[in-house]
Structure 1
Amino acid sequence: MRWHFGDPANPTAGGWGAEAEYSYPAAGDYQVRITFGAGLPCADTLILPITVRDQGPIQPAFNWDYALCSDTLVLDFSDQTTGAAISSYAWYVNDELFATEAHASLGLSGAGRYPITLVTTAANGCQDTIREFIEPRFIELTLADSLIACPSEEVRLYPQADTTFTYAWSPAAALADATVPNPLVTATTSMLYRVTITDEQSSCQREARIWVEIPPDIAYDLIAPATSCAPEVNLQVNTTEQVSAAWYADAERDSLLAETLNWQATVDGPTTYYLVLTDDLACQKVDSITIDGQAVRVRLEEPPLLCRGDSVRLSATAAGTYPIVAYSWSPEAYILSGATTPSPWVSPPTTTPFTLSLTNSVGCQLDTTIVLEVTNTVPLIAVTPTRDTILPGELVQLNATLRFDLTYAWSPATSLDAADVYNPVASPENTTLYTLVVTDRNGCTATDSSLIVVLNSPCRRPYVFVPTAFSPNGDQLNDELRVAGNVIDEFFLAIYNRWGEEVFSTRDQREGWDGTYRGKALPSDVYGYYLEVRCVDGVRFQDKGNISLLR
């Protein structure tokens, strides 16, 4: 729709829409024309006459103050409108009417931000509105009626206090500071505390009180010896109250030891234990006790299984705070030496318990026992070589008793093909004593040995032997010429015909001459030879002569 406000001073004044607003510059009678469906073939028009009176504008205003500060907050509102005389009032909060007088009261349940609207109507029919947000302060009491504090415990009276208000607590003498919102009190006796809370901005005041109950202290007796030769000490708490207990190794209570009233502590030297008792109100009592643990403490090394006839050293190591000053081992009949020392040598014939009596520097004593187990099973072993005399370079097999539960260790191992078998092959260069040590699954050992004699043959005939004839005729008898000798280390052999021509030579003692030259069989004849060797002992030997080839 189209609005025409009919102001001669402003002929074009108008507007569009369901609502329109216009301020006339002067009093007078005006006709407002409203056109419905402007621009359409079926448009319609409404004429609305209005009269503007010359009495000045209304200027609505109000103020407010606190009327009551308690569980409910009551505010007083006063109209302060200026301009024309006002004939009616309408007060709203959250758009709900709560009063129709120039002075109004409003009850609120708590602090907050509230929209307050005042609509004033003048006697001439003029009306105006003011809307303001107010934020009244409310002293809300959240102080508990009572609390329980443990004896000598420091507690705060009002943790939820609003710090924007001022506080006055009493009795002030029992408080660290009676003017703070949340005062600290060290509880010794039950007492009633009062507080006056003031809002300096509104002058509102409220009063509250809290009863602080102090229950009786936990009654108990802590029983434990000051010194003890026993390795463990009973710590006992006697009480008729329902309490829980916790024992700690440190004053900071980081290392928990036990959670029972009575328990056994392993004490070594001066040791302090810390006790915390807690009742059903969560009140605690902290105590401590120092005990000098003087017990003899020793570590006995576990001995190995002893083989019959062997000896072993027992070992005891002092482990306590106070040093051991006296040792006494028994039975003495099986002690070889050191019966009054920490480490005696013993050799019992059978499994035997050995008792050690100890005394430390503060006179505490201890008897302790260790059992030395002796096995009667000793391995039987014998070494039998295939032969006990050989020439240099020869091999011999050493044979020992075969048992699958034994481990074998031969020495010296340098001339053996294996040192951990029952039948190694030996290749000694000189006469050698081979020793075998066998060990069974119990760790028991047995030993045997065998002497292998090496005959050191001279580096000369007949120990270096060259045959005088051979017959390479294929009958498998003497078909090759070979030089014999088991002491040869380096070797050279050359064969010559009667004209001095070399028909064969070799540096390998294992290579023989088959009577051929360049693949052809040589005729029967007498051939010359030259031999040069170095034996295993470093001696050199040269020889020459004739060989008959017979076919």
Structure 2
Amino acid sequence: MKNQRVYLVSFVSIIITLQSFSVSGQSAACTPFIYQKDTTICSGASVLLDLKDPPPRDSLLPGVWKLLIPGTAIDSNLFNIKAFGFDKTNQYLYSIIHKRVTRYDLKNNTVAAITADNWPGDYTEFTYDYTNKRLLCWRGGRDSVYALPENGGSWVAIGAGTIDRETFGSSSFWNPVTKQVGIYGGYGFNEMKSWIFENDGFGWVQKKSNPIIDSTPPKGGNLLAASADGTKLYLFSGQGSYSGNELSGACALGSAWASAGGMFCWLRDLWELDLNTYKFQNILPVNSASILYEGALGYYTDQSRFYLFGGFQPTGNYATNQNLANTNKTFYFRRGIDTGFKEIQGEGQVPPALAKTALANYAYYDATAKRMIWARHDGIWAYYPDSTTAPPGFRSILWSTGDTTAAITVKPLQTTLYRVTRTIGSQVCKDSILITVTNMQTGLLPAVNVCGNSTSLDAGAGFASYQWSTGETTRTITVTQTGTYWVAVTKAVCTATDSSKVSFALPVADFTVAVLKDSVCAGDRDSLYITNPQTGITYSWRVTGNTNVINTGNSYATSITANTSYTISGASNPAICSTKTAVAAIVVRTQFPKPLVRVDSIGTGTLQFSWDPVPGATAYQVSTDKGLSYTAPSSGAQGRVHILTGLLPNTNVSIAVKATGPYVCQTSDTAQTAATTRNPFGNGIYVPNAITPNGDGVNDVLLAYGTAISSVRLIVYSQWGAQLFLSTDLKKGWDGTHNGQKVPAGLYTYSLEAVMQDGSRINKGGTFSVIR
């Protein structure tokens, strides 16, 4: 039903029900708190429901969450916190990265930058020295240590060290017993460590060894929490093994944790480290079934209670471990009472599951406010385990509609029981109201789409009267035109109107698609068109396999670069009827392969070439001038033989042949070969003994004749020895002139130096006559 209007014609009965208020699942001493009582309305009418103010409360349910600093106030690029970077006296949490010190004030819920200069480097390993009220920072592992007053100033070197490649990711801490900064564990050269070092100012001194096999504790894990006086530290879970070696390829402790270089174990244990003796005491065994997540561990020192917030579950697959989901669950473990961690449900502003991120998150005990802190890059939350310390004002309202406000407006379409739960700390109260609806819903649909030319509209049974916009008063009517049709119906004291928008469309007929050219050269344009387009139908063109519409209309023209299939769909307008499709394809012509050219015969003055047929080729072209020009073969355009005649002996000829078709793009690359005419004369050279330079074209010049001459130097002298002519051109001889003047008839001499094609040299000289 759409746009229904309901009118209250006369008195509407109101039913008031007095009900017992013993509701399952709610706190004692709850009283009804919805102002309104059960009632009856016409369908389509709206009702306001609102709540009475709750009685005052002075205590809250244990386990209340409160957001202290939202993620919008945290710059994730400057968020680098540490397990022991919390000043519990002043309720300050520190972050050090990119030469920036950031202080999160968890008492006033503010964020501030601490001024610092004389930075030793962009160092990220640090801890808070609560004995001397300062921050200690170093590169990592057993490097040199620097100190900064907690309120800012200059970094000062306080402990010597060197670059360390064996303790990446070690846990740093402050030892109040020795007043020294220390580290536990770390990773390097494919091995987890279980050693402990402290810096005495002169360097790092080993306090615990790193045996080849260590089970007290296993190598690995992370120091995450401390006792109230800081002399006891708590080592929790993490990855490692008895040997600490990740190259073994397997985990012998129960739960595998794949690393980039091999395989560790998910330790799932809890140990206490005594900084007086550097001895470990086991609290929960390795592979404890109660440790379900690798999360943020905190120690509530006042109650000897551990809390575990969130976390993930590592696997034996390294690729899977790069994309693990987190949880937002909370677990607790009471030392000396519980056998392991147990899940509890918190209230209030419960933190969401942490997004997949490489940024660390840690838990701290805020002894001043008697609360746990869960610090993350997306927000810093406080968890109040004790109701006497929880902040006031925590309440929630939840209607069965999903609304969370004290007042809501409802518009039920049928008789509905609305329920509401109000939670104020540990007090949970429930109430409900029944709204009975006189059903005025018709049988009309908001929209009716018809593939055809007529349809029936049915307003539905159960009404006293019907009045259609067409003037008809029957329950059903038949319509043939697109439009909106409404009906007014009555039942008892209620009247309602409803409407239906009816749309008609013409069915799509079968169609075919024709192509102007079924094949083209790459880059050529081609056209496709509907052979029998139908009026009122929209034709959409797509490349087959792609959902994007590239054209609408009865035809489509485009440039073709590859074999392409098109799917054309015909749709009614409006799109009511079933679509129909047709497919057409255009093929891009391919280039012919090169002909295979061979030399058939070689003569003294002739050469004959031929080639195999190229499939699909309609003609061939040949070139003997290195492709400057092409002609048809001597055997005709479609012939596959080319004969060259009139050649001189020992003449080399290169020939290029290509196959052609009806389209330029089919022309093949050229195939080339070469041959040389026979040379029966060898290295013989002939120089005439007389010339008659009279311009008749016969014996007009003196030349050196030979079939194997590569280069020549010809000099002509007069009878007195004067040089008259010099030429190094095989084709340029002496024409009987000197300085443009004809020389007189008589006897002359010549000198000839020739280099033959085989590299041999011939020197020749003699006399000849000029006859005029």
* Same fold per superposition (TM over 0.5): no
**Structure-1-length-normalised TM-score:** 0.29
**Structure-2-length-normalised TM-score:** 0.22
If you compute each CA radius of gyration, which structure gives the higher value, 1 or 2? Answer: 1
